[in-house]
Structure 1
Amino acid sequence: MKRWTARLVIGMLLYGVVIGLYFTFGNLYEPSPQYAGTAADPSTFLAPEQIRKGESLSRIHSLAYFIMTPLQVVVLLLLLGFGVGLRTRLERLTRFSLLRIGGFVLVFLAVTGALFLPLDYAMLQIDRAYGLSTTTTATFFADLGKDLAIEWVSTTFIVVILLWLMRRSPKRWWLWLSIVAIPISVFLTFVQPVVLDPLYHTFQPLRKEPLRTEILELAAKADIPANQVFEVNMSERTNAVNAYVNGIGSNARIVLWDTTLNKLKDDEILTIMAHEMGHYKEKHIYWQVAVGIIVTFFSLWAAYRLYEWLLRKAAPLVGIRQGGKGQDLAALPVLLIAVSLVGIVLTPAQNVFSRFLEQRADAYAMQMTGDGDAAIRAFQKIARDNLSPIKQPLLVTLFRGTHPSIQDRILYFSQFEK
């Protein structure tokens, strides 16, 4: 066991060195030379210091992502023994399975959250130093508390269903869980705008009346059942700009960040909102739910196979029970490891799908407004205020690229310049 742990730690350290060198050295963000002097050339709309800051912060964020993603798996592996001890203590404390499950999930979430807290707080301080984040320490910890509460309730609910399915169908639980996930996913999509989002942010009707009227006119053309546009107080957390349309049916909401209202002109905001409405008009939410169901099916199948293999390897080493009437609570981290590894492998394909939807929404925005000039100005300001490089290296595009690059989007919008 000690030898296995040592190899794991050494492997993670070597990986960290390689990733650190990749993101520290090399010109990863050089603009395409053929676009020099065009609207897609950052030197035409950003000062050299702004370009440097955006690239520097992107290197830090990408390095953090590529370190923390596998590190989470490594931490779960190292905590397998802790999980066995926690399960044993809970069995001594109570005979009620629901209390055991709730206690196990709560303690495990709290411990893993505490282990990554220094890294999360360090990233907050970095974003503050670069002028991107305005989140106070009090807000940071309040959000962590809300996250923990929501994760605890939702994870405990899923684990209760999972363990019941494992007992009823030891070889097909992954199939039944993927079916159960369908109504849960639709329900969460429906309630998020009116239940979950207000836990973190304050929403109010858009006060800028002429803009509100124009946005609602666009919404009517897109058949969005909304009679109100909301602004949200994101300036309490960030200097970045954004907008979105989320929810389904009667809970659909059109939302503008107050930072967007303060930093973009009305015609620029309209192109952004037309893009977001394109997601709704083309039913991208339903596409995402449908693809999510398919991905969940194959992910759980693959995770089940990997879980069975990992469990056979890990159980004798740390004392996880196999067989018997029910699934050992201490085996849950093993399943989480399997799901995480499958998720990492599938991320590039999911990002390709996400970029496709974003391209479709951009096309819809131009169909609605035809204002390429405003769209170009909007994304130039997004690059400035969000400290976003106009291009990203291939590795980042594969694993973090949910949207087309700003360079590609500006080039697309340039076809519609008036």
Structure 2
Amino acid sequence: MVRKWAFRGVFAYLLFGLVMYVYLYFLADSSLPNSLKGTSADPETFMNSRELMLSEEYSTIRNLLFFLSTPYEWVFYFLILILGVSRKFENWAVETTKFRFLQTGIYLFWLTLTSFIAIFPFQYISHTLSKRYNISTQSFSGWMKDEFTDFWVNYLMMFVIVTVLYWLIRRFPKRWWLAAWALSVPFSIFLMFIQPVLIDPLYNDFYPLKDKQLEEQILSLASKANIPTDHVYEVNMSEETNALNAYVTGVGSNSRIVLWDTTLNKLNQDEILFIMAHEMAHYVEKHIYIGIGIYLLFSFVGLWIAAKWMNRLVEKHSESLKVKKVSHLSSLPLFLLITSVLLFASSPLSNWISRYQEVRADRYAIELTGNKEAAISSFQQLSKVGLSQVNPPFIVKIFRYGHPTMLERLKMLEEYEGKEKQ
């Protein structure tokens, strides 16, 4: 029975991978509509032939890796369960100590380590691919340092979450999901509060913007938008990547506007001000808090579904899954499997909401700066430097894109300008 289920799981994964390969390389359409030929949305107007070829190659491989890595994680959790590995980890933990929190720590260490090793090939391929296409500038040693930092940060966070979660499952067998959701509200806000000052600095150095003249202009823009802020931060990402980015992070007094130094080095002043205006829009329109609210709604439904599915699967397939009770630590891979599937299934909706917010931020930035030319050139530079597809395939868009495609962003600017001229 175990061999049959293992074979079915691996076969389904390979079949899915083959389908996605055929779709991405032979069926997907990323061509530009004829109506946009020669416009600012046409990549041939701002990329040379080599850059066009590389952007298609790089994007297609990255898309394939995404659609292979996500179900690979599901197969991993499934095999960990049916092969009895998860139960073995739990037995080791129980035999080592009588204290439950130490049992959780031991079990979680072995599960996290096994997961790290299993997922590492995809991580390494992604890193080498970025190096080959000159996106990543990070050395292998620097990349491995970040990987190990990720390992311990994720382990410590999961230790806290899993310890509390399984205490709740034992304490409230029928309503543990509701209690877990209630506790996730302050925990999520706490994480967003400490991320800029405790977590992010583990990976990079953050410091106030060095260019004080530019900072003054950005702060003037912030004042125009009624945003109370005293500093703009830059981060030394050029040691890791050539890509461009800027973002808003944190909540309350710990909220920050952050610019990558690559953005400062490769965009002109007007383009940087447009990017900053876009990020300010997220603050003005309270997208961070709306995002928290949407996350809480999704997590409420997700935890309820996860609890229902876990109870049914353990009740009907306890022997096959090698899990006696939901309250046993050995059921954790089942919980992670279900939540991962739910996250993937809900990503088209969550990405659509995110894209809607990004469109509003784009429009706000144009209105605040009054510089559509800078908006166009900044989007073109983002595509060029990041080797991004201007018009990605539909399935890729709905599952991967939390931002509008560059085609949609540049088309919106073209139409916006058209309205202005009338």
In 2: Cα distance, 1:225 partner to 1:143 partner: 33
In 1: Cα distance, 2:28 partner to 2:337 partner: 34
Q: Deviations over 1:280-329 (max 9, x none)?
A: 11110000001111011001111111222222344212432227xxx111
Instruction: Please identify, of 11-20 and 75-84, the stretch whose mean Cα deviation from structure 2 is larger.
Output: 11-20
The 5-angstrom pairing of residues 88-107 of structure 1 reads: 88-107=91-110
Match of 1:12 in 2: 13
Pick one of 299, 314, 317 that aligns with 1:311. 314
Match of 1:175 in 2: 178
Match of 2:3 in 1: 2
In 2: Cα distance, 1:274 partner to 1:226 partner: 13
Pick one of 322, 325, 339 that aligns with 1:322. 325
Match of 2:397 in 1: 397
Q: Work out whether residues 112 and 155 of structure 2, in 8 Å CA contact, stay in contact via their aligned partners in 1.
A: yes
Match of 1:334 in 2: 334
Match of 1:349 in 2: 349
Q: Work out whether residues 207 and 233 of structure 2, in 8 Å CA contact, stay in contact via their aligned partners in 1.
A: yes
In 1: Cα distance, 2:315 partner to 2:193 partner: 40
TM, length-normalised to structure 2: 0.96
TM, length-normalised to structure 1: 0.97
In 2: Cα distance, 1:349 partner to 1:302 partner: 17
Q: Work out whether residues 216 and 227 of structure 1, in 8 Å CA contact, stay in contact via their aligned partners in 2.
A: yes
Identity over aligned pairs, percent = 39
User: Which residues of structure 2 form unaligned runs of 5+?
Assistant: none
Match of 2:157 in 1: 154
How far apart are 1:225 and its partner, in Å? Answer: 2.7
Residue identity opposite 2:86 in structure 1: G
Residue identity opposite 2:226 in structure 1: D
Q: Work out whether residues 303 and 338 of structure 1, in 8 Å CA contact, stay in contact via their aligned partners in 2.
A: yes
In 1: Cα distance, 2:396 partner to 2:321 partner: 36
In 2: Cα distance, 1:89 partner to 1:168 partner: 24
User: Which residues of structure 1 form unaligned runs of 5+?
Assistant: none
The alignment covers a number of residue pairs equal to 415
Match of 1:244 in 2: 247
In 2: Cα distance, 1:32 partner to 1:309 partner: 49
In 1: Cα distance, 2:68 partner to 2:202 partner: 30
How far apart are 1:52 and its partner, in Å? Answer: 1.1
Kindly report structure 1 stretches of 4+ aligned residues shifted beyond 3 Å. none
2:242 partner SS:
coil
Pick one of 297, 302, 306 that aligns with 2:300. 297
Confirm whether residue 187 of structure 1 aligns to residue 187 of structure 2: no
Match of 1:408 in 2: 408
Match of 1:366 in 2: 366
How far apart are 1:390 and its partner, in Å? Answer: 0.9
In 2: Cα distance, 1:225 partner to 1:202 partner: 24
In 1: Cα distance, 2:108 partner to 2:183 partner: 20
2:404 partner SS:
coil
Relative to structure 1, is the Cα distance of residues 27 and 322 closer, same or farther in structure 2, using a 3 angstrom cutoff? closer
Q: Work out whether residues 225 and 284 of structure 2, in 8 Å CA contact, stay in contact via their aligned partners in 1.
A: yes
In 2: Cα distance, 1:9 partner to 1:27 partner: 25
Q: Deviations over 1:348-378 (max 9, x none)?
A: 1101110011011111101211111000000
In 2: Cα distance, 1:120 partner to 1:317 partner: 31
The 5-angstrom pairing of residues 53-202 of structure 1 reads: 53-80=54-81, 81-202=84-205
Residue identity opposite 1:180 in structure 2: L
Instruction: Please identify, of 201-210 and 72-81, the stretch whose mean Cα deviation from structure 2 is larger.
Output: 201-210
1:207 partner SS:
coil
How far apart are 1:56 and its partner, in Å? Answer: 0.9
Residue identity opposite 1:376 in structure 2: I
Q: Aligned-pair RMSD on alpha carbons?
A: 1.4
Match of 1:214 in 2: 217
In 2: Cα distance, 1:224 partner to 1:232 partner: 21
In 2: Cα distance, 1:214 partner to 1:128 partner: 35
Q: Deviations over 1:151-208 (max 9, x none)?
A: 1111111111111111121111111111111001111111111111111011122112
How far apart are 1:28 and its partner, in Å? Answer: 2.6
